[in-house]
């Protein structure tokens, strides 16, 4: 009888020891996970701060480089000029150039030309006046072309004058009648640092075909 009691007590002690050991192991695991979470959160915060500092540094360098380049820029008016060359029986190549002094710069330009049902624009080829042309849209009654400056790292490439802005392939649908491409002065503009530098008086108002 005593032996059974002793064995029972020993079993209870072993069971209790197992539970206690499990609790200790569980607490240790929770503590370890908490420490890992803290280390990860700290590392993430460090990386975010480093990224933020890098963005600020890049923005500062870009502003500095742009400001330095603009010091050599002659701020003046730029205009759009055109020339027409017949390339087929009823087809024309219309070249649009950005005109101005060589030291003038621009960081954006929108050219919008309106036309009637007697004309059809089949193609627009961008020129070299701008390093980037993000928009080139041909609609049933107008064509829109946008040129933009580009940023590579901390270097900025501006638009430049005395270069081709775009070349349009235009077809007359009524050859016996005169047709026109009309400059949309409400939506056409040339910019530098957010300000208009377009010379509307020196720009063409219409292109006769």
CATH number, domain of 143, equals 2.60.40.680
Burial 49-72 (b: 16+ CB within 10 A, else e): eeeeeeeeeeeeeeeeebeeeeee
- 53 or 180: which leads in pLDDT: 180
- Quick one: 39 and 89 in the same domain? no
Q: Both 52 and 122 in a single domain?
A: no
Q: Is the pLDDT of residue 34 over 50?
A: yes
Question: How far apart are the C-alpha atoms of 34 and 39, rounded to whole Å?
Answer: 9
Statement to judge: residues 83 and 67 lie in one domain? no
Burial class from Cβ neighbours inside 10 Å (0-12, 13-18, 19+) for residue 167 reads middle
Angstrom distance (rounded) from CA 141 to CA 149: 27
| Residue 64 predicted with pLDDT over 70 | no
* Number of domains observed in the structure of the chain: 2
Contact partners, residue 79, CB within 8 Å, separation at least 6: 98, 99, 100, 198, 199, 200, 201, 202, 203
Residues 154 and 177 in one domain: yes
Does residue 62 sit in the same domain as residue 85?
Answer: no
58 shares its domain with 110: no
Q: How confident is the model at residue 88 (pLDDT cuts 50, 70, 90)?
A: confident
Q: What number is the average pLDDT over the span 134-152?
A: 93
Tell me which of 13-17, 47-51, 146-150, 203-207 is least confident: 13-17
Which of 35-49, 108-122, 127-141 is least confident? Answer: 35-49
Which of 23, 53, 71 marks a domain boundary?
A: 71
pLDDT tens digits for range 97-109: 999 987 889 999 9
Q: Is the pTM of this model over 0.75?
A: no
Q: Is the pLDDT of residue 54 over 70?
A: no
Question: 10 and 83: one domain?
Answer: no
The residue out of 9, 39, 71 marking a domain boundary is 71
179 or 54, which is more confident: 179
Whether 164 and 97 share a structural domain:
yes
The domain boundary, picked from 71, 98, 127, lies at 71
Of the candidate ranges 34-48, 78-92, 171-185, 191-205, the one whose mean pLDDT is the lowest: 34-48
Tell me: do 122 and 142 sit in the same domain.
Answer: yes
Mean predicted confidence (pLDDT) in 180-203: 94
pLDDT surpasses 70 at 149: yes
Statement: residue 5 has pLDDT above 80:
no
Q: Are residues 153 and 193 in the same domain?
A: yes
Whether 49 and 123 share a structural domain: no
Same domain, 4 and 99: no
**What is the average pLDDT score of the chain?**
81
The better pLDDT of the pair 79, 16 is held by 79
- Average pLDDT estimate for 78-103: 92
Check whether 66 has a pLDDT greater than 80. Answer: no
Containing domain of residue 37, as a range?
1-71
């Amino acid at each position: 009888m005593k032996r059974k009691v002793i064995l029972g007590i020993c079993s209870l002690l072993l069971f209790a020891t197992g539970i206690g050991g499990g609790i200790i192991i569980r607490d240790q695991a929770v503590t370890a996970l908490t420490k890992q979470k803290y280390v990860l959160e700290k590392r993430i915060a460090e990386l975010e701060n480093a990224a933020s500092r890098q963005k600020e540094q890049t923005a500062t360098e870009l502003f500095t480089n742009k400001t330095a380049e603009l010091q050599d820029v002659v701020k003046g008016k730029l205009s759009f000029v055109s020339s027409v060359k017949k390339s087929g029986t009823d087809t024309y190549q219309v070249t649009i150039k950005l005109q101005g002094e060589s030291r003038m710069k621009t960081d954006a330009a929108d050219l919008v030309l309106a036309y009637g049902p007697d004309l059809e624009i089949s193609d627009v080829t961008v020129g070299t006046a701008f390093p980037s042309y993000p928009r080139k849209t041909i609609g049933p009654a107008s064509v829109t072309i946008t040129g933009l400056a580009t940023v590579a790292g901390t270097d900025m490439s501006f638009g430049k004058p005395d270069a081709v802005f775009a070349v349009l392939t235009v077809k007359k649908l009524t050859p016996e009648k005169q047709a026109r491409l009309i400059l949309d002065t409400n939506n056409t503009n040339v910019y530098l640092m957010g300000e208009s530098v377009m010379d509307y008086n020196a720009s063409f108002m219409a292109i006769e075909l």
